Structure formats: C-alpha cells, structure tokens
Amino acid sequence: DGIMGEGTVIITGGTFGFDPTTWVATGYKAVPSGSNFVVVSNDIDAVVSSTAELSDAIANGNANIVLAEDITYNTAINNNAVINLNNNTFEATHSFKLGNNADLTMIGGDYVANGTFGHVDVRPSTAEGSVVTFEDVNFSFNKLGPTYGPSTNRLGSVVEVCAEVADAHTKILFKNCTFDNAAVLFEGLSDKTGTIDAVFENCTFNALTSSAPVSVTNFVHGTIKMTGCTFNLECTSSS
C-alpha cells in the first residue's frame, strides 16, 4: 500500500505477491515465479517452481538456480548446476544420476530421500570426475518408522559416489549439514577403482540404526576428513 514516514526500503531477497522492483537493491532483481516475484541477485540464471522448470533450466545450461517452492525430483543432471534451495524442500522420489562429470552445488534447505533409492548418484565418466558441494543442507530419509523395528533399521542413502571408469576422481564437501537417518556411500563398480577426496565439516549425524552413516565399499580409495562433526548414533546390532 506504500511506505509511510521517513526511511528507505531496500530489498535483497524474499518472495512477494507484488512486483517489488522499485525497492530492490542494486545488484538484485525481482523475477516472476507463478503469481509471485522472487528477489535474487543478478547472477541468478533462473528461478524455478517445479520439477519440469528445474530440469529444463539445468538442461539449458542455466548454472545458477533458485527454488521458489518445494519440489520433487528424479531427473538426471548432466550440466554444472548451483541450486539454492532457498529454505525449500528438495524431495528425491528416486535416485538420479549426476553424470557427464557435471559439478553440483546445493545450498540451504532440506533434501528428503523419499524412497528406497532417493540419492544423488554421482557417476564420474572420466578420470577428471566431478566436484560436489552441499552446504547448510538437512538430509533425511523418511522411510524409517515403527514397522522397521529397532534392530533392523537401516539408513537411507542420500548421496552415493560410484566410479564408472578406472581412477575416476570425485571431490565432495559437506559443510554444516545434518543427516537424519541418512547415509553417504562411496563405492565402485567391479574393476573400476575410483578415488575420493571427501570432507565433512561441522556436520551432525542422527540415527538409530544397524548400518553406518558413512561407508566405503568395493574398489574405492582416497581420503575422508571430518572436522567439528557431531555423532548422535545408537547402533542396534553387533556391527
């Protein structure tokens, strides 16, 4: 309705039911998203509100993307992408492949694995591999519950790194992330030994489980560094 009194309104983010361009700060823009406008920095290529929009934005080479709403997703990512979840929920209804040595960054929101296979499947296709970063992401696997029983709980994988070619290398960083009944797996295909450089920084692991929240299996070597991490784990088996 307008601004009353002295002062200046400067907007650098948020979702609005009207066009706030008049008050948007230098270096930012108001982008239409459905019936709303989302204020983002000028370096953002796309603001998306659906699975189809996100998939199309990535396929069209839009590297910097902001989510305007919660979405579900299960489509392969074959181009570099920086996805700002914008405090929304990214729900993986099935595993989806990160291929073509694409680099992926995901920032600021919830990642929910809503299925037996609801993980990012990092599959480097040459020795160069991918660089993957998750920052301020809350991972969770929502298939655990009373029907599983405390002695048989297994964590749902949210990220799996699997080498497809010999000596494929992957760098992956988890910073300020939370894992609720969620696991990260590093593995390789037969005779396709891969290398990993993995860092977990200020992460928290919460689980009642019979399996490990971080594991390395089959044909993989490299380094895993953990700093400032918290483990709230209760093992329900003799493992």
What is the three-state SS of 130-175? CEEEEEEEEEEECCCCCCCCCCCCCCEEEEEEEECCCCCEEEEEEE
Angle in degrees, CA 176, 58, 32, rounded to 5: 90
Which pLDDT belongs to residue 38? 86
**CA of residue 76 relative to chain centroid, distance:** 14
38-42: long-range contacts, CB 8 A cutoff, minimum separation 24:
38/14, 38/66, 38/68, 38/86, 39/11, 39/12, 39/13, 39/14, 39/15, 40/13, 40/66
| Rounded-to-integer distance, Cα 157 and Cα 120, Å | 9
Radius of gyration of the chain (CA): 20
- The answer to whether the Cα torsion of 49, 54, 56, 62 is positive or negative is positive
Instruction: Encode the chain (239 residues) as per-residue pLDDT tens digits.
Output: 455 667 778 888 888 888 888 888 888 888 887 778 888 888 888 899 899 999 999 999 888 999 999 999 999 999 999 999 999 999 998 889 998 889 999 999 999 987 667 888 888 878 888 999 999 999 988 655 433 444 445 677 888 887 777 778 889 999 999 998 888 888 776 666 778 899 999 999 988 776 788 888 777 788 999 999 999 887 766 54
Question: How many Cβ atoms sit within 10 Å of the Cβ of residue 45?
Answer: 16
Q: Which amino acid is at 184?
A: V
Residue 190 CB neighbours (<10 A): 7
What's residue 146's pLDDT? 38
pLDDT at 72: 93
CB atoms within 10 A of CB 11: 16
CA distance 59 to 76: 10
The predicted-structure confidence for 132-154, as pLDDT tens digits, reads as follows: 999 999 998 865 543 344 444 56
Backbone angles phi, psi at 53, to 5 degrees: -65, -40
Task: Report yes or no: 196 and 168 within 8 Å, Cβ to Cβ.
Answer: no
Sheet of 214-216, strand order: 96-98, 120-122, 156-163, 182-188, 214-216
Residue type (1 letter), 128: E
